[in-house]
Structure 1
Amino acid sequence: MLEIKNLSAGYGKVQVLHGVSISVPKGKVVTLIGSNGAGKTTTMRAVSGMIAPTAGEISLNGKRIEGLESFEIARRGLAHSPEGRRVFATMTVTDNLRLGAFPRYTGSRPKGDVEADLARAMDLFPRLKERREQLAGTLSGGEQQMLAMARATMLQPDVMLLDEPSMGLAPILVAEVFRIIERLKEQGVTMLLVEQFAAAALGVADYGYVLENGRISLHGPADKLRNDPAVKAAYLGGGGH
């Protein structure tokens, strides 16, 4: 479904990723964990076309996507819920969601029933339903996070990238975000999840990769990683930070 092979990327002369390889099979949730500065967000940005890789291959459904523009990658079926939410502040919740379906209106993705999917997104995120006519900029941080996730589902993506969905949220909202990830998983949505709360991420994922200094240091089934002494010591103590 999504294959990343020997990916290198960075910013200007600063190389952040050094030969990263990750496989995200269809219908599975794969998580990428690591400390701050390990290169998790850089990986997501390189996959979704926000930055251009300097080396390596990225394939979506067997077709190479590295080097394409973000909008072209979205048309191919990859949705990105970025770190820091990035909602359209001066548009309503409903219009933000419709924008997520934009490639379906233009014919570059199968259209399907956008209205039914809009209703489904509102059911999945009840807080958004209550605030559907509100401007996105007036929502709380947690609500904006849910909007960013819901907007990504509106593409009806083949693969969804979730970058730090729980960042800056109160514990009750973190639990809500993971409940929604669990529901998306039940619906068969393929996801690559980057998350500070390693314990929660490994709890919802099928498979995990540990990123250290821009390199994959360890990978395996999520339950195995959760019980790995080195992973426990580095990432699962003190709330998973």
Structure 2
Amino acid sequence: MLKVEGLYAGYGSTDVLHGISLTVPKGKVVSLIGSNGAGKTTTMRALSGMIKPKRGGVLLNGKSITGLDSHRIARLGLAHSPEGRRVFPTLSVQDNLLLGAFPRLSGNRPKGNVREDLESAMELFPRLKERRRQLAGTLSGGEQQMLAMARAVMMRPDVILLDEPSMGLAPILVDEVFKIVRKLKAQEVTMLLVEQFAAAALDVSDYAYVLESGRIALEGPAEKLKGDSAVRAAYLGGAH
């Protein structure tokens, strides 16, 4: 379980987040929706150690990970599929996936059967199976997004942060990405999802938070928020 308590974070002297609190229960999908500039990606970066929180706390399975470096947070079980994909372009698809399992191969996470999980990831993301020997930098944008997601899955984390998985994708690929999110949900993979298509995010989520100007403005079961008139007017009218 991931728990965030009174988190303040930002860049330089500017705070972007102003005391946000949220919880991601084990086996659930929680979405964080809001307009551009609301602080969604900053939240993800603060949770995964890409930036250091200024105040507040982040707990993973009851243990504080506040302010730890990203590699230490990953070893403790938090995987981040970041906005913009950030694959290793000069490595093959398969090698990118094996890098996702590095904490397991280096003894920092339970090892399990990495080769078996590699094949399972290929089955979950069949486009990657077809291109397993191809350099990641030559993949399409949608394929790179799937690779970033699969790489996070390969760590066998306790929680996955998915930051804007549909960004820049054609509608047919957006649908494919969300089908995969649903498959992960069916496997009870715990996820915190940041997504520009609020309707799609709420459809796949158990619970949701609405972020406005760095503060949690509203929260509740995803199905309830879908029916909220203010949420519909602000985020769902033109959503996918």
Q: TM-score, normalised by structure 2?
A: 1.00
Listed as ranges, the matches of 1:199-218 within 5 Å are 199-218=199-218
CA RMSD of aligned residues (A): 0.5
Listed as ranges, the matches of 1:91-102 within 5 Å are 91-102=91-102
CA distance in 2, matches of 1:227, 1:43: 25
Instruction: Say whether 1:58 aligns with 2:71.
Output: no
- Give the secondary-structure state (helix, strand or coil) at the position aligned to 1:199: helix
CA distance in 1, matches of 2:143, 2:235: 27
Unaligned runs of 5+ in 1: none
CA distance in 1, matches of 2:142, 2:14: 32
Instruction: Say whether 1:149 aligns with 2:141.
Output: no
Listed as ranges, the matches of 1:16-165 within 5 Å are 16-165=16-165
Cα distance, 1:14 vs structure 2: 1.1
Could you tell me the percent identity over the aligned residues? 73
CA distance in 2, matches of 1:198, 1:239: 6
Look up the equivalent residue of 2:156 and give its one-letter code: Q
Aligned to 2:233: 233
Cα distance, 1:125 vs structure 2: 0.3
Per-residue CA deviation, residues 176-206 of structure 1 (Å, 9 max, x unaligned), is 0000000000001000000000000000000
Look up the equivalent residue of 2:190 and give its one-letter code: T
Per-residue CA deviation, residues 17-71 of structure 1 (Å, 9 max, x unaligned), is 0000010000000000000000000000000000000000000000000110000
Unaligned runs of 5+ in 2: none
Cα distance, 1:239 vs structure 2: 2.3
Q: Which runs of 4+ in 1 moved over 2 A?
A: none
Cα distance, 1:238 vs structure 2: 1.3
CA distance in 2, matches of 1:134, 1:14: 42
- Give the secondary-structure state (helix, strand or coil) at the position aligned to 2:66: coil
